[in-house]
Structure 1
Amino acid sequence: MPFLLPLLLQAYDPEIEAVMNRSRKQKQEAQAAVAATTAPAAAASVPAREDGRIPVPEKFAAPFQACLDQAMASPDAGVAFAQKWRIEGGSFYARHCMGFAYARAERWTPAIVAFEQAAEEAERGGEMAQGARLWAQAGNAALAGGDAAKARTDFDAALARGLPDGFEKGEVHLDRARALVALGDMAAARDSLDVALTQAPRDPLGWLLSATLARRSGEMSLAQAHIARAVQLSPDDASVALEEGNVAILTNHEDVARSAWQRAVRLSPDSPAGKAAADNLTRLPADKPVG
């Protein structure tokens, strides 16, 4: 089938761009918002929940939420609130909010600095779990800013803090794998993805990235198995549908590829994944007439 080579060459870039950057800004917002949950004990003594977030002690919860609200309304206002609160004794939670506010403004360099300073301050106070979370936030800011090497360093710092097994460790390994892919270290990326799939098996992004990496490496049986799992977990995601089609066409299942790409276009026609799927469809032979 002569269209296969150009299809493979063109499909990767928009597709991986959509996957690698999917919902990262929203993820940071969700992490910070969930972190504002109150708890009567110090954060270090409270086990992480399934989402990997550790409740904020009651002393800091209300001003932290107020700071987040300011940052959501206006990043500059959030930075100003955080700076004032830090002087008044906001501890690393103030620096955390400052990093969040800078990230909201997509000012990645000061966001990285704020998250790293928050991590160091948390560790000085014995809050190692919180420190690990903040190193991971710094890594995501670095990755969003295009500094994959810095991101890898920060993710390694998060993992070195001894995160317990579970969702949070899996998410850090997943993010570390994204940095390693950007750095071209596919073997190390595979190692981190394998850990992520074990630690956070219900996150469809892990299975999607694993399938994409396997396809790029020519491991088509693995790609088929992992994209099937991603489809099961997230059937309405255009990036998942796009990759399902990419794997199908390379394993000689043209009908499955056509259906998957059509689904990607229906789900999100204006997204990079939807546009890549639409372009792939133009490379397929026309449907044979019925009858």
Structure 2
Amino acid sequence: MILLLAALTAQAAAPVPTTPAAQLDACLAQARSDPAGAEQAARMLGRAGEACRGAALAGQDDYAGAATAFTAAARNAEVAHEARAADYWAQAGNAWLAAGDAAKARAALDAALAAGTLTDLKRGEAYLDRARALVATGDIKAARVDLDLATRDAADDPLAWLLSATLARRMGDLPRAKLDIAQALRRSADDASVQLEAGNIAAAAGDAAGAQAAWKEAARLAPDAPAGRSAANALTQFAGDAAK
């Protein structure tokens, strides 16, 4: 009974967010574990809750809805001269990428980076996402510039190095591709997508043994994922050698 009363007292004493900023932060925290509940809480906040609604919808795989909400949050923040505007534009861009709309993603990420307030990792991730949008819309040269910036500002993100290596291979720059995939492998050797690309680069360089080893690892790591299945399919070209 004493323990129960203590718990109830602690709950009663927990501070209730009162300012709009505190309410938004509480809603965003809820979105990580209870996106459906956070969506309802966001509606109660009105215009101030658009960012939380975006996070809640993303947590429910409604990426187009999330992108629309983040866009509204970014515009509201710009009107209010809030520093979070660039973050919301970046989140809108990421959500548009997940929704498969590269053109809208690029526009949102242009706005995020133009604000000049993103720094370090956040800026690097925005460059990375914009590079993905640029590749999808066929602007390879601009994507190369953004990936160079992404590997500078988000150097610990293996995805930045993976995409940089992939783009270098597609552009025929195998020395750069080898350097960048080595960085990706240093950070995430247990990622089937990284091993798949390592095999692709080795194959492009004429290194059959290296390609086979990397593809086998990708297939082992994720046999049922797209990267693992692609690696297994690539390995079929060596079936004749194994039979000899």
TM-score calculated relative to the size of structure 1: 0.72
What residue number does 2:164 align with? 210
What residue number does 1:266 align with? 220
Which of the residues 138, 146, 162 maps onto 1:184?
138
The answer to whether the 8 Å contact 2:27/2:52 transfers is: no
Alpha-carbon deviation of 1:193? 0.4
The answer to whether the 8 Å contact 2:93/2:107 transfers is: yes
Alpha-carbon deviation of 1:279? 0.6
Structure 1 residue identity aligned to 2:41? F
Alpha-carbon deviation of 1:99? 0.7
Partner SS, residue 207 of structure 1: helix
What residue number does 2:5 align with? none
Question: Over residues 172-212 of structure 1, what are the superposed CA-to-partner deviations in whole Å (9 max), with x where a residue is unaligned?
Answer: 00000000111111111101101111111111101100111
CA 1:103–1:214 in 2, change beyond 3 Å: closer, same or farther? Answer: same
Structure 2 residue identity aligned to 1:248? A
Partner SS, residue 155 of structure 2: coil
Alpha-carbon deviation of 1:120? 1.6
What residue number does 2:26 align with? 65
Rounded to whole Å, the distance in 1 between the matches of 2:178 and 2:25 is 44
Rounded to whole Å, the distance in 2 between the matches of 1:238 and 1:58 is 45
Rounded to whole Å, the distance in 2 between the matches of 1:73 and 1:167 is 26
CA 1:288–1:222 in 2, change beyond 3 Å: closer, same or farther? Answer: farther
CA 1:159–1:277 in 2, change beyond 3 Å: closer, same or farther? Answer: same
What residue number does 1:139 align with? 93
Structure 1 residue identity aligned to 2:42? A
Rounded to whole Å, the distance in 1 between the matches of 2:182 and 2:117 is 29
The answer to whether the 8 Å contact 1:71/1:79 transfers is: no
Which of the residues 47, 66, 74 maps onto 1:119?
74
What residue number does 1:281 align with? 235
**Higher RCO (C-alpha under 8 Å, 6+ residues apart):** 1
- Bigger radius of gyration among the two: 2
- How many pairs align? 226
Which of the residues 46, 52, 72 maps onto 1:86?
46
CA 1:138–1:63 in 2, change beyond 3 Å: closer, same or farther? Answer: closer
Structure 2 residue identity aligned to 1:126? H
CA 1:156–1:69 in 2, change beyond 3 Å: closer, same or farther? Answer: same
C-alpha RMSD of the superposition: 2.1
Alpha-carbon deviation of 1:140? 1.1
Rounded to whole Å, the distance in 2 between the matches of 1:83 and 1:180 is 34
What residue number does 1:51 align with? none
What residue number does 2:152 align with? 198
TM-score calculated relative to the size of structure 2: 0.85
Rounded to whole Å, the distance in 2 between the matches of 1:236 and 1:83 is 41
What residue number does 2:123 align with? 169
Alpha-carbon deviation of 1:61? 3.9
What residue number does 2:6 align with? none
Partner SS, residue 218 of structure 2: helix
Rounded to whole Å, the distance in 2 between the matches of 1:100 and 1:175 is 17
Structure 1 residue identity aligned to 2:25? F
Rounded to whole Å, the distance in 1 between the matches of 2:148 and 2:193 is 20
Alpha-carbon deviation of 1:85? 2.2
The answer to whether the 8 Å contact 1:139/1:153 transfers is: yes
What residue number does 1:238 align with? 192
Partner SS, residue 127 of structure 1: coil
The answer to whether the 8 Å contact 1:193/1:206 transfers is: yes
What residue number does 1:4 align with? none
Alpha-carbon deviation of 1:74? 4.9
Percentage of identical aligned residues: 45
Rounded to whole Å, the distance in 2 between the matches of 1:149 and 1:271 is 27
Partner SS, residue 241 of structure 2: coil
